């Protein structure tokens, strides 16, 4: 096990590990489980295997289920997104399915690591299947019925976003920062966005340092940008506001950009890091926002990363799934087709000694597992899941 060269390096490594873990959890919630639901011609949400084979084909007819409490209706023609308990039940079932798959792996597919694992920090790996244990415990301790409405005061229940949001025309831009040294880096492009990007009706600067770092700037050029930023914040007619994380009871955390306390007024939330990259209007608005409107229950982004498989078993399964995915993309398939997507590749550390590692060296066009925050678009409902109390376990 490798060790950090200094305390600051350790803190940085652990912060990065927490961010990567959170992004992976976000992808788990969005890509694997949110994708198990669809909404067609105002019919009720149902469990589906359209995006991922949740069950093996021979077991599909017996194991598919409808979530009785997973729908909250406001009227006869419209359904609210599925609430958190339906999502958590789906995640638990995915874990149980994964355990079944791992138990049936033949002996010749075990102990097939092709690369040795080097730990990034001194923190031990999360227990395999531990998310299901935490979810079951939380659901047992919190058996109350979900609220009738989402995203309102006094209603702690999280709800999935709708699969499409074609009527959305405005969005909130969120940029997280903590040092005046990067003010010029994001304010200059931000001015261009405010002048030329249609639909940007709100801008939230998540400031992860004390307010005094903006009000008492010594360097002249940085002070000029800090003064401009504070003036925008104090102008009630300006779309920009500063969210001072420390004043809201939060610590300097990379996940503050996803905190529900931001209360974005728009359903679509667009993200950039304070040091970029700042993609073009054509990429983010003309294409990115339009793609998100058609797929608002998933994260849409421009900066992908993937997780490297280190065992030959997972590599073979990953290659097979990638080829099947490309074949599907290459076909003329209608959106409501019953085409079967590749099965999820189970991660079986306990039984097969599988390991994976975060690929920080390349940005794949295909086979991506996570999206970095900068240049991504997310539905505001997802923020509730990221900071859900069950995540503390």
Which pLDDT belongs to residue 81? 55
Which pLDDT belongs to residue 329? 78
pLDDT in tens, 250-309: 999 999 999 999 999 999 999 999 999 999 999 999 999 999 999 999 999 988 888 888
Which pLDDT belongs to residue 101? 87
- Measured CA to CA, the distance from residue 44 to residue 34 in angstroms comes to 15
Closest CA to 209 of 235, 231, 182, 234: 182
Structure tokens at 12: 């940085």
Within the chain, which residue ranges are assigned CATH 3.90.550.10?
Answer: 171-294
**What DSSP line would sit under 69-115, residue for residue?**
TS-EEEETTEEEPPBHHHHHHHHHHHHHHHHHHHHT--GGGSS-BSS
Flag the least confident range among 51-65, 152-166, 170-184, 374-388: 51-65
Nearest 10 degrees: Cα torsion 179, 180, 182, 186: 110
How buried is 234 (Cβ within 10 angstroms: 0-12 exposed, 13-18 middle, 19+ buried)? exposed
Q: Which residue has the higher pLDDT, 73 or 99?
A: 99
Question: Where are the strands (E) in 208-340, listed by range?
Answer: 240-244, 268-273, 300-301, 304-305, 307-309
Residue 54: how many CB atoms within 10 A of its CB? 23
Q: Give me the percent of the chain exceeding a pLDDT of 90.
A: 42
| CATH superfamily ID and name for 171-294 | Spore Coat Polysaccharide Biosynthesis Protein SpsA; Chain A (3.90.550.10)
151: left (phi over 0), alpha (psi -120 to 50) or beta: left
Flag the least confident range among 85-89, 172-176, 248-252: 85-89
Among 42-56, 145-159, 198-212, 346-360, the range of highest mean pLDDT: 198-212
pLDDT in tens, 317-374: 888 888 888 888 787 666 556 677 777 788 888 888 788 888 888 777 667 888 899 9
């Amino acid at each position: 096990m490798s060790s950090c060269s200094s305390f600051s390096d350790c803190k940085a490594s652990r912060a990065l590990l927490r961010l990567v873990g959170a992004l992976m959890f976000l992808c788990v919630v969005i890509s694997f489980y949110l994708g198990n639901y669809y909404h067609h011609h105002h019919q009720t949400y149902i469990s589906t295997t359209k995006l991922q084979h949740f069950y093996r084909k021979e077991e599909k007819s017996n194991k598919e289920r409808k979530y009785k409490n997973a729908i909250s209706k406001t009227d006869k023609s419209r359904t609210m997104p599925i609430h958190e308990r339906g999502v958590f039940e789906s995640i638990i079932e995915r874990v149980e399915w994964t355990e079944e798959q791992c138990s049936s792996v033949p002996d010749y597919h075990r102990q097939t690591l092709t690369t040795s694992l080097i730990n990034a920090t001194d923190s031990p790996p999360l227990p395999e299947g531990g998310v299901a244990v935490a979810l079951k415990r939380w659901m047992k301790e919190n058996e109350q019925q979900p609220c009738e409405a989402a995203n309102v005061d006094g209603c702690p229940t999280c709800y999935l976003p709708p699969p499409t949001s074609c009527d959305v025309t405005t969005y909130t831009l969120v940029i997280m920062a903590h040092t005046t040294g990067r003010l010029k880096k994001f304010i200059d492009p931000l001015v261009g966005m405010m002048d030329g990007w249609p639909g940007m009706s709100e801008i939230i600067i998540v400031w992860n340092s004390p307010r005094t770092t903006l009000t008492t700037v010594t360097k002249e050029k940085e002070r000029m940008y800090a003064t401009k930023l504070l003036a925008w914040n104090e102008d009630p007619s300006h779309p920009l506001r500063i969210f001072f994380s420390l004043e809201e009871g939060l610590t300097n955390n990379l996940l503050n950009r996803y905190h529900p306390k931001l209360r974005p007024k728009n359903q679509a939330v667009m993200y950039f890091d304070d040091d970029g990259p700042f993609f073009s209007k054509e990429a983010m608005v003309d294409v990115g926002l339009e793609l998100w409107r058609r797929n608002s229950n998933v994260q849409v982004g421009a900066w992908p990363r993937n997780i490297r498989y280190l065992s030959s078993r997972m590599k073979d399964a990953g290659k097979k799934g990638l080829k099947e995915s490309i074949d599907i993309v290459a076909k003329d398939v209608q959106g409501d087709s019953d085409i079967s997507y590749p099965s999820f590749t189970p991660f079986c550390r306990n039984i097969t000694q599988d390991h994976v590692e975060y690929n920080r060296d390349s940005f794949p066009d295909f086979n991506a597992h996570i999206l970095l925050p900068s240049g991504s678009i997310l539905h505001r409902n997802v923020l509730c899941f990221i900071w859900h109390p069950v995540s503390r376990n």
